[in-house]
Structure 1
Amino acid sequence: MKFLCPSQALAPDSSLGFDVDGRKLFAVRREGVAYFYINRCPHRGVPLEWQTDQFLDPSASLIQCATHGALFLIESGECVAGPCAGQSLTALPGREDEQGLWVQL
């Protein structure tokens, strides 16, 4: 497991991007739970964020690809709108403990 950041760094309904050993990934917190994904849109293979650490739509309820506007469910990574509908982001196993957020690469 690789340490990402202290828990308080990932605020409620927010996202953070990371580069771990040359692999781009991100974390999203929703309803107290942290979710981890590879930072790659299944449509074009491009990074998702439109600005540093900005992976969510304006309502902070869906992950949004900045390139084509595809929308993904935070809890599962499934694309629910856009050119890659039916495809999914690649989820990564992770956990949160008293030290912070950890991810398995």
Structure 2
Amino acid sequence: MKFLCAGAELAEAGSRGFDIEGKRLFAVRRSGRAYVYLNRCPHRGVGLEWHPDRFLDPSNSLIQCATHGALFLIEDGECVSGPCAGQALTAIPCREDAQGLWVDL
């Protein structure tokens, strides 16, 4: 497991991007739980963020791709709207403890 960040560095209803071991990842926190995905849209293989650490739609309830506006569920990465509907983001196994957030690459 690789250390990603301290728990306090990922705010509730917030998102954050990371580069770790040559992989671009992002994390989102919802209802106190962290979710980590590969920062790659299944439609065109591009990064998802609008600006650094901005991966969510204006309501902070869905992950949104900046390129074509595809929308993904935070809990499982499924695309629910846009050109890659039915596909999903690549989830990265993670766990959180007192030290922070860890990912299994």
Q: How many residues align?
A: 105
In the TM superposition, residue 42 of structure 1 has moved relative to its aligned partner by 0.1
Report what 1:10 is aligned to: 10
Report what 2:54 is aligned to: 54
1:88 matched to 2:91? The reply is no
Separation of aligned partners in 2, 1:26 and 1:2: 14
Q: How big is each residue's C-alpha offset from its partner over 1:8-63, in whole Å with a ceiling of 9 and x where there is no partner? A: 00000000000001100000000000001000000000000010000000000000
Structure 1 gaps of 5+ residues are: none
Q: TM-score, normalised by structure 1?
A: 0.99
SS at structure 2 position matched to 1:17: strand
Counting only pairs closer than 5 Å after superposition, residues 9-88 of structure 1 correspond to structure 2 as 9-88=9-88
Structure 2 gaps of 5+ residues are: none
Separation of aligned partners in 1, 2:56 and 2:2: 24
SS at structure 1 position matched to 2:8: helix
Q: TM-score, normalised by structure 2?
A: 0.99
Report what 1:99 is aligned to: 99
Moved over 2 A (4+): none
Letter in 2 for 1:26: F
